[in-house]
């Protein structure tokens, strides 16, 4: 009897009900397959050129064209609005690496140890292997051309002991350069919510790295680089295509959009232009070409403002290496956010406003310069220790950098 009742219950299930059940199961199977495909397209496995956004992709845009010699913004749109730098971050990574080379703590052929953490970084990367080494010059070229994230971490760990400590040094250096709206939390530019910058700050850095390291800056013009038999071409396709372009760096994440900092020297003029939030490589590059051609003629041929230097008084003691260019740090309060701004139409707004001068001034120097010089010689820079466990060196750097940042009250880590 029980069996017959069960059969009669089964017979009452209508064909339409069965179809709905089958349809629901099919939907779940398709959704599961789609989820698996999405997981397979994670950043660690995605190809660099995969398009992961649709036709309505419009990241927040910002731009500036800065005249290096006059200290004026020839054009700006949302230049002080926070944006994610993406791989423009590597400009500061290279700034600190060039500083180590300048001070003799590293040489171009110095082997840098590759940690497991560095080797496991997401693309783009050189494919470095843990427990091996890479020479400094190869790391530089890998950063400039391939925008290699694994090489960025190698540099960070070699200088700062860890990427986290190195990021603190990066932020401290940004403050010393007057980049008041930039915070770094990693050395590569891989997505991080707290890693922010502005178009104005990136223009400042684009000028500063050239002024401080004119010899090493030439690496940014490297057209291609061969590493272990693999040739990599520079992502900056404006090199060799636009007259006067000598660097410097591209960048992209989904949140940032397509970024580019370009330096142009033409007819005794020098401008640094920044685009943040392009919708594609092609659109970004086309816009940069337009900005360059529209504004290079407005740039000055004579330097009327000091070049960009750090505000700690350690570098550039000549009169022409005085304070940081003010127009970078001074925000244009009169213009609404996002409004296009041309210095030729409103020159008063574009005039630079001096920042505080370096702490060491002529009036504040000791009466006995010889004694000061002797004191300076008595405290030479300690060479960088490249041992796997450079705990003492890293601890000393951590104490100095954290203390200084806390005094400034500007660090956000």
Residues noted as catalytic: 87, 90, 147
Cα dihedral angle (369, 370, 373, 375), rounded to 10 degrees? -110
Provide the token pair at 349.
Answer: 């707004």
Q: Is residue 260 within 8 Å of residue 285, measured between CB atoms?
A: yes
Rg (CA), the chain: 26
**Selection from 75, 74, 79 nearest residue 62 by Cα:** 79
3-class DSSP assignment, residue 225 = strand
* Distance (Å, whole) CA 34 – CA 274: 38
φ, ψ at 253 (rounded to 5°): -140, 165
* Distance set, CA 410 to CA 91, 241, 269, 407 (Å): 21, 40, 35, 8
**Selection from 210, 211, 261, 255 nearest residue 235 by Cα:** 261
Q: Is residue 324 within 8 Å of residue 355, measured between CB atoms?
A: yes
Buried b (16+ CB within 10 A) or exposed e, 156-182: bbbbbbebebbbbbbbbbbbbbbbbbb
* Distance (Å, whole) CA 108 – CA 142: 13
């Amino acid at each position: 009897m029980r069996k017959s009742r069960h059969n009669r219950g089964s017979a009452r299930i209508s064909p339409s009900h069965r179809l709905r059940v089958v349809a629901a199961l099919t939907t779940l199977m398709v959704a599961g397959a789609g989820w698996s495909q999405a997981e397979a397209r994670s950043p660690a496995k995605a190809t660099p050129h995969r398009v992961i956004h649709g036709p309505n992709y419009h990241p927040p845009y910002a731009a500036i064209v800065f005249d290096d010699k006059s200290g004026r913004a020839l054009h700006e749109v949302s230049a002080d609005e926070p944006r994610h730098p993406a791989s423009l971050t590597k400009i500061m990574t290279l700034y600190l690496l060039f500083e180590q080379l300048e001070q003799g703590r590293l040489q171009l052929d110095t082997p840098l140890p590759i940690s497991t953490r560095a080797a496991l970084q997401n693309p783009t990367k050189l494919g470095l292997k843990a427990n091996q080494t890479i020479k400094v010059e190869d790391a530089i070229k890998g950063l400039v051309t391939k925008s290699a994230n694994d090489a960025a971490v190698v540099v960070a760990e070699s200088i700062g002991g860890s990427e986290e400590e190195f990021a603190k040094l990066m932020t401290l250096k940004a403050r010393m350069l007057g980049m008041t709206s930039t915070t770094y939390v990693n050395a590569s530019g891989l997505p991080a919510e707290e890693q922010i910058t502005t178009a104005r700050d990136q223009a400042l850095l684009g000028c500063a790295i050239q002024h401080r390291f004119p010899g090493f800056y030439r690496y940014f013009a490297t057209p291609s680089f061969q590493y272990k038999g693999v040739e990599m071409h520079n992502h900056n396709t404006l090199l060799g295509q636009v007259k006067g372009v000598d660097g410097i760096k591209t960048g992209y994440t989904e949140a940032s959009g397509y970024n580019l900092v370009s330096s142009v020297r033409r007819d005794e003029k020098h401008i640094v232009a920044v685009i943040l939030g392009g919708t594609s490589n092609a659109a970004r590059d086309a816009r940069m070409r337009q900005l360059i051609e529209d504004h290079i003629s407005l740039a000055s041929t004579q330097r009327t403002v000091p070049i960009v230097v750090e505000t700690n008084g350690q570098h550039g003691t000549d009169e022409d290496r005085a304070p940081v260019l003010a127009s970078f740090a001074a925000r244009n309060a009169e213009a609404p956010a996002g409004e296009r701004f041309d210095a030729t139409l409103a020159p008063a707004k574009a005039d630079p406003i001096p920042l505080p001068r370096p702490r060491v001034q002529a009036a504040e120097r000791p009466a006995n310069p010889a004694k000061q010089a002797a004191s300076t010689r008595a405290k030479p820079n300690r060479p960088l220790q490249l041992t796997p466990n450079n705990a003492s060196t890293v601890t000393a750097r951590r104490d100095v950098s954290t203390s200084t940042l806390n005094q400034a009250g500007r660090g956000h880590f």
